[in-house]
Amino acid sequence: MNYFSILNLLFSQMEYPEKVAEENLTVMVEFILLGFSDLPNLQGFLFGIFLIIYMSILIGNGLIIVITKVDLTLQTPMYFFLGNFSFLEICYTSVTLPRMLTNLWTQNRAISLMACAIQLSFFLILGVSETFLLAAMAYDRYVAICKPLYYPIIMNHKVCVQLVVGSWITGIPGQLLQTYKVISLPFCFNELNHVFCDVPPLLKLACGDTTVQESFVYAAAVLFGMVPFLIILGFYVKIIITILKLPLVTGRGKAFSTCSSHLIVVGLFYGSGIITYLIPKSSQSGIEKVLSLFYTIVTPMFNPVIYSLKNKDVTAAFKKLLFKILA
């Protein structure tokens, strides 16, 4: 059974109002994504800004994918992970940004229950994939710095592929279940004060007590978010201890430089994500709408910039590719 078959099976019951008629509730068939409707005079400006951001994400991360594939000096595990991470960033952003652009352009903010469920499931699955891929990248740096002699043996191509595939598929069952639990709630309101379908704003629209669902969300956030984050921290603690033991200052600087780009991306992604998902629902007053832009848009946009500015190999590969194009 493929992914879309699973989605169809899980969400098929949303199409039949009679299944919840016995609860004497109005069946919600669509939501209204309010987005930035409170800024009516800036709709065109916001459309232009988000379009530029989306194009820069596609071009920047696309270039990262190309150079990690064609440049022979970048045929290493670190850049194999970087290329996959850039592809993931494109997918992750494409789940939300095109819909945001469409809403801004047409001013039609309605999204069906099914479309909301599909967007939410992809958003959650790709978000989990990102956390595990960041952990895999941290493991790669740990082996390279702490066990350099065994690096070619440990980080062989088969292991790298297994880590990437595992990162992509690990979160699918749990996030499909979480999507189902959230989207199948009885909703009393249909105005979603957010820019896309996400768990915290959807829970705000649910009728009655949502404590059980919130507990499940927090448990999933800890399992699929905090656990990889703690793994990353553990690897970097060992990395820092190893670097501080290096005899030469230049050696320490080079070792730190290979990790700094990854650490910046981790900080941007987890910083905004943790705040958004772990602060109580009652304490959120629209700030989650802004914070969500950081881990869905800002991080993917700056990913190529961070790696090109902090990594001489990537910068050199960019220059060689540009020279070939212009020659």
| Segment 245-289, tens digit of pLDDT | 877 666 666 667 777 888 888 888 887 766 665 555 544 455 667
In the three-class reduction of DSSP (H, G, I as helix; E, B as strand; rest coil), residue 210 is classed as coil
- Which long-range contacts does 285-292 make (Cβ < 8 Å, 24+ apart)? 286/193, 288/194, 288/198, 288/200, 288/201, 289/193, 289/194, 289/195, 292/194, 292/195, 292/196, 292/198
**pLDDT, tens only, 28-44:** 678 888 888 777 788 88
Q: Are 119 and 196 in contact (CB under 8 A)?
A: yes
Comparing CA positions, the residue from 111, 67, 128 lying closest to residue 308 is 67
Is the confidence at residue 17, as pLDDT, over 50?
no
Domains and CATH numbers, the chain: 29-326 (1.20.1070.10)
- At 89 the pLDDT is 92
Rg (CA), the chain: 22
- DSSP letters, 67-108, are HHHH-GGG-SHHHHHHHHHHHHHHHHHHHHHHHHHHHHHH--
Alpha helices in 25-76 (DSSP H): 43-70
Q: Which of 151-160, 293-302, 304-313 has the lowest mean pLDDT?
A: 304-313
**Considering the entire predicted model, what is its pTM?**
0.84
- At 174 the pLDDT is 86
Which H or E run includes 167?
helix 157-169
CA distance linking residue 175 with residue 182, whole number of Å: 10
Tell which wins on pLDDT, 90 or 309: 90
Sorting pLDDT into bands at 50, 70 and 90, what band is 126?
very high
- Helix, strand and coil content of the chain, in percent to the nearest 5, comes to 80, 5, 15
- At 249 the pLDDT is 62
What order of strands is seen across the sheet that includes strand 191-192?
110-112, 30-33, 191-192
Q: Which two tokens stand for residue 112?
A: 């069906």
Q: Which of 50-64, 156-170, 176-190, 261-275 has the lowest mean pLDDT?
A: 261-275
**pLDDT, tens only, 152-175:** 999 999 999 999 999 999 889 888
Is the confidence at residue 6, as pLDDT, over 70?
no
Q: Look-up: residue for tokens 């910046």?
A: 264
* Mean pLDDT value across the chain: 81
**pLDDT, tens only, 72-93:** 888 889 899 999 999 999 999 9
How far lies 133's CA from each of 85, 161, 230, 232, in Å?
A: 7, 11, 14, 10
